[in-house]
Amino acid sequence: MFLIIFITAIFAFFLHQLYWRRRNLPPGPIPWPLFGNLYEFSKHPPGYQAFLDCHKKYGPVFTFWMGSDPAVFITDHELLKEAFVRDGDTFNEKFIYENFNEPFRGGNFGVFDANGETWKTHRRFALHVFRDFGIGKDLMEQKILLETEEIIKSFAKATGDFSVQEDFDLAVGSIINQVLFGYSFRNEKEPEFRQLKSVLNELICYLGSTEAIFTLTVSKTLAKLLNPNYFKKMKKYREKLMSFYESQIEKHSEEIDFDLEENKDYVEAFLKEQKKREAAGDFESFSKIQLQNMCFDLWVAGSDTTTNTMSFMILYALHNPDMQKKLHEELDRVIGSRRQVSMSDKNDLPFLTAFINETQRLANLVPINFPRQIKKDVVLQGHWIPSGTTIVHQISAIFYDDKVFPDHQKFNPYRFLDNEGQLKKVDELIPFSIGKRQCLGEGLARMELFLFTANIFNHFEFLPGTEGLPSLVKDFSSVVRPKKYTCRVLKRDIP
Ligand code: HEM
């Protein structure tokens, strides 16, 4: 009798898992109970291959189980445009990882992992403050150029095998810190930055581990039962990182002059808005916990992405000396001196812009994009997808699709140039994602990438160090980064 019940239960479980839960979803690989298709994802780090294989086998809309829940992936640019741009409101709700938001954030706060009014209000407010600070304009350009000068000074002192990554980290961290808290991490503040960055690295690496992804994607009860350590770690990271933001907020609260119209930084702008709203009886929308989480989101999203892109760029220049030579030729022709290259030079440097574009494509920072949860039933390529389903706009598969970018592993900036050598618009290049939640810091990131690249390559040539060419293998930690490497940095012979 027991045996019959046992066999029936197993049969019912597999019927439910393999047939019932999958019956109306687009095709995709068979999921394991609890783990779904995470094995396929972790089999070939950093994970692109799993989605490229599915794209090839099942087409541009398929189901991939992230742990115990299914997610529908879209891997075609036209389909993404149709869904995320033309029907943007349906696709703008983030899938919320409660196992991250609760223990780390203290609830659904911030902008990255928030929805509804919180997301809308704070995305709009942050963009407004960024505009006031001149992101995309002169004011911000001057700040970035000052940090670029610091990188140049440090590179000029480089002898023998040299690691470029730390200088990019410090410059990019200092820029976002100025936007948020009004100061750079130069000189006596550098140890503060290095300490924060090391905690942040630990957190980001841990969140990219299979263990953490599994914990994020199962129910809280199961997670607590199977991986209680995860919650202890989140508490530790929260205490270390949030206490920095909290201390900055406290300092600003003590020093702020509410009568001054101009704002020194984002926190000051936030505190003034908070006061205004509280006077009108709204004590919730601009709360202290929301401010802490905004600082975390902007600090994290604004640092790792740009710095990793710059490290990949030097890596690709080392592996492609002919392309680095073309870059130097263009700079010599257009700039031809040690003067600072500014945003106004951009239109005259199409190869340099193509070089950045190709770096962003090949670096392909986000192997899995940040999932959405649809608010109503939709039809995607003939598949009816019910409201509440998780959707992933998988941009990494587009960048590595040979039909869109032939010979996709080759570093070839010419993909972005026409026959006259002018920059060509390639719609499929969407490293900042697509739709209403596309990167909030795109303007700042584009400015940083251009000013760093133009000025640094104008001054220096990068050559392999004594250990030869560094590895192109990527480390995965929520976004990808190159493995630590060193190279030789030579001053160029320019007037
Ligand atoms: C090379 C640099 C960067 C790249 C490649 C990049 C890429 C991305 C991507 C792919 C997303 C996800 C969009 C989605 O969910 O569909 C995103 C979101 C976001 N990024 Fe960036 N980013 C970069 C730099 C920055 C900077 C400098 C900041 C801040 C100042 C920033 C702030 C954000 C924020 C706050 C979001 C969430 C937006 C929302 O949910 O509404 N990013 N970024």
The 3-state DSSP class for residue 373 equals: strand
The whole model's pTM is what? 0.95
Give the mutation target among 95, 439, 447, 451 for probing the ligand 1 site: most ligand atoms within 8 A of CB.
439
Give the mutation target among 109, 174, 305 for probing the ligand 1 site: most ligand atoms within 8 A of CB.
305
pLDDT of residue 467: 93
Q: What is the CA radius of gyration of the chain?
A: 24
Nearest CA to ligand 1 atom 22: 439
41 neighbors 47 (Cβ within 8 angstroms): yes
Separation between Cα atoms, residue 424 and residue 187, nearest integer Å? 42
pLDDT reading at 431 higher than 80:
yes
Which residue shows structure tokens 């340099």?
Answer: 352
Separation between Cα atoms, residue 399 and residue 204, nearest integer Å? 23
User: Measured in angstroms, how far is the CA atom of residue 26 from the centroid of ligand 1?
Assistant: 29
Nearest CA to ligand 1 atom 6: 432
369 backbone dihedrals φ, ψ, rounded to 5°: -75, 170
The 3-state DSSP class for residue 143 equals: helix
Ramachandran category for residue 110: left, alpha or beta (phi over 0 → left; psi -120 to 50 → alpha): left
User: Measured in angstroms, how far is the CA atom of residue 442 from the centroid of ligand 1?
Assistant: 7
370 pocket-lining for ligand 1 (C-beta < 6 Å):
yes
Which residue shows structure tokens 């998988």?
Answer: 394
Q: Could you give the count of Cα atoms lying within 13 Å of 206 in the half-sphere of its Cβ? A: 17
**Tokens for 354?**
């193509």
Which residue type is seen at 286? F
343 neighbors 205 (Cβ within 8 angstroms): no
- Tell me: the pLDDT tens digits for 18-34? 667 777 899 999 998 87
pLDDT of residue 13: 67
User: Measured in angstroms, how far is the CA atom of residue 452 from the centroid of ligand 1?
Assistant: 19
296 neighbors 177 (Cβ within 8 angstroms): no
Lowest mean pLDDT among 105-109, 249-253, 300-304: 300-304
Distances (CA, A) of 424 to 158, 354, 364, 415, 446: 36, 9, 20, 8, 17
The 3-state DSSP class for residue 441 equals: coil
pLDDT reading at 156 higher than 80:
yes
Separation between Cα atoms, residue 271 and residue 291, nearest integer Å? 9
What is the pLDDT confidence band of residue 292, given thresholds at 50, 70 and 90?
very high
Query: Can you tell me which atom of ligand 1 is nearest the CA of 172?
Result: 27
pLDDT reading at 14 higher than 70:
no
**Tokens for 430?**
């969407």
77 neighbors 430 (Cβ within 8 angstroms): yes
100 pocket-lining for ligand 1 (C-beta < 6 Å):
no
- Give the residue from 494, 153, 488 showing the smallest Cα distance to 321: 488
Mean pLDDT of 321-333: 98
101 pocket-lining for ligand 1 (C-beta < 6 Å):
no
Q: Which residues are annotated as a binding site for heme?
A: 439
- Tell me: the pLDDT tens digits for 79-118? 999 999 999 999 999 999 999 999 999 999 999 999 999 9
- Give the residue from 228, 227, 235, 222 showing the smallest Cα distance to 211: 227
Give the helix/strand (H/E) hosting 12: helix 2-14
121 pocket-lining for ligand 1 (C-beta < 6 Å):
no
User: Measured in angstroms, how far is the CA atom of residue 319 from the centroid of ligand 1?
Assistant: 28
For strands 69-74 and 61-66, give the pairing.
Answer: antiparallel
404 neighbors 430 (Cβ within 8 angstroms): no
pLDDT reading at 235 higher than 70:
yes
Query: Can you tell me which atom of ligand 1 is nearest the CA of 119?
Result: 41
Query: Can you tell me which atom of ligand 1 is nearest the CA of 84?
Result: 16
439 pocket-lining for ligand 1 (C-beta < 6 Å):
yes
402 neighbors 55 (Cβ within 8 angstroms): no
Helix pair angle (350-363, 442-459), 10° resolution: 120
Separation between Cα atoms, residue 244 and residue 255, nearest integer Å? 17
pLDDT reading at 469 higher than 80:
yes
Distances (CA, A) of 346 to 169, 246, 322, 411, 422: 24, 39, 22, 21, 12
What is the pLDDT confidence band of residue 217, given thresholds at 50, 70 and 90?
confident
User: Measured in angstroms, how far is the CA atom of residue 302 from the centroid of ligand 1?
Assistant: 7
392 backbone dihedrals φ, ψ, rounded to 5°: -120, 120
450 neighbors 353 (Cβ within 8 angstroms): yes
43 neighbors 30 (Cβ within 8 angstroms): no
Nearest CA to ligand 1 atom 41: 437
Mean pLDDT of 3-11: 72
367 pocket-lining for ligand 1 (C-beta < 6 Å):
no
454 neighbors 341 (Cβ within 8 angstroms): yes
Query: Average model confidence (pLDDT) for the chain?
Result: 93
480 pocket-lining for ligand 1 (C-beta < 6 Å):
no
Which percentage of the chain shows pLDDT scores above 70? 97
User: Measured in angstroms, how far is the CA atom of residue 322 from the centroid of ligand 1?
Assistant: 31
430 pocket-lining for ligand 1 (C-beta < 6 Å):
no
Nearest CA to ligand 1 atom 43: 439
